[in-house]
A and B are shown apart, each in its own frame.
Chain A
């Protein structure tokens, strides 16, 4: 089955830019979605189809996808952005919904 690889953690100072990567074989051929999950809460979709934002998600959240790596970028990071972030793709194999292991973003 398809595998997505994320770094376990990313640390960033307030006001700086956080970049979270999601690696997969030829991932650029797939639509990548990103979810934010704060402790004790359900995941929230923050970016879909590589770089689209759902209604209500700040413009500070953006995404890109090229080659074997998709990236979620959080600009002007705020304390409230501290959370786990998961990438997800749909695969045509037997396990259609594949999640990365998640990246914990810590705001210093």
Chain B
């Protein structure tokens, strides 16, 4: 059974960098069959896709966040990570990591439990 688990600081100061890691268990992140994504959800609001990475390291980002986002992958640790720079209160949200098969149009079949990140001084 595949499991994804987010980890990282729950509190980040404005203008600083938000850094989260997703650890994958029950399957290899380097199998080449999946895209690995970050998705966020502000309190009481909907889901927003942030970006994704493939096992090769190739990444795609949402146009609205592209200038501030970097997603990286560490296949030796079976992890992928998110960095979001110059954060503001608007970046306060629950951050999820999720998996989608690499076939175009596929759904997110596994999700992490989510981690709340609050941006505040």
Tell whether A pairs with B.
yes
Interface residues of A (CB under 8 A from B): 1, 30-31, 33, 35, 41-45, 48-49, 54, 86, 88-90, 94-102
- Min CB gap A102→B, angstroms: 5
Q: Residues of B contacting A41 with CB < 8 Å?
A: 113
- Min CB gap A106→B, angstroms: 16
Q: Residues of A contacting B112 with CB < 8 Å?
A: 42
Contacts known (A96-B60, A97-B37); A86 close to B107, Cβ less than 8 A = no
Contact between chains at A43 and B108 (CB < 8 Å)? yes
- Complex-state Cα separation, A54 to B111, whole angstroms: 14
- Complex-state Cα separation, A9 to B51, whole angstroms: 28
Residue of A33, A41, A54, A101 ringed by the most chain B CB atoms within 10 A: A33
Contact between chains at A45 and B108 (CB < 8 Å)? yes
Contact between chains at A99 and B46 (CB < 8 Å)? yes
The answer to the question of B47 belonging to the interface, with a C-beta cut-off of 8 Å to chain A, is: yes
Contact between chains at B46 and A45 (CB < 8 Å)? no
Contacts known (A42-B96, A44-B111); A99 close to B48, Cβ less than 8 A = yes
Residue of A43, A44, A89, A102 ringed by the most chain B CB atoms within 10 A: A43
Contact between chains at B46 and A100 (CB < 8 Å)? yes
- Complex-state Cα separation, A89 to B112, whole angstroms: 20
Q: Residues of A contacting B60 with CB < 8 Å?
A: 96
The answer to the question of B25 belonging to the interface, with a C-beta cut-off of 8 Å to chain A, is: no
- Complex-state Cα separation, A1 to B104, whole angstroms: 17
Shortest Cβ-Cβ A-B pairs, 7 listed? A33-B107, A97-B49, A48-B107, A90-B105, A42-B111, A31-B105, A99-B47
Q: Which residue of B lies closest to A84 (CB)?
A: B46
27 A-B interface contacts by CB (under 8 A): A1-B63, A31-B107, A33-B108, A35-B108, A41-B113, A42-B96, A42-B111, A42-B112, A43-B108, A44-B111, A45-B108, A45-B109, A48-B106, A48-B107, A49-B105, A88-B47, A88-B107, A88-B108, A96-B49, A97-B37, A97-B49, A97-B100, A99-B46, A99-B48, A99-B49, A101-B46, A102-B47
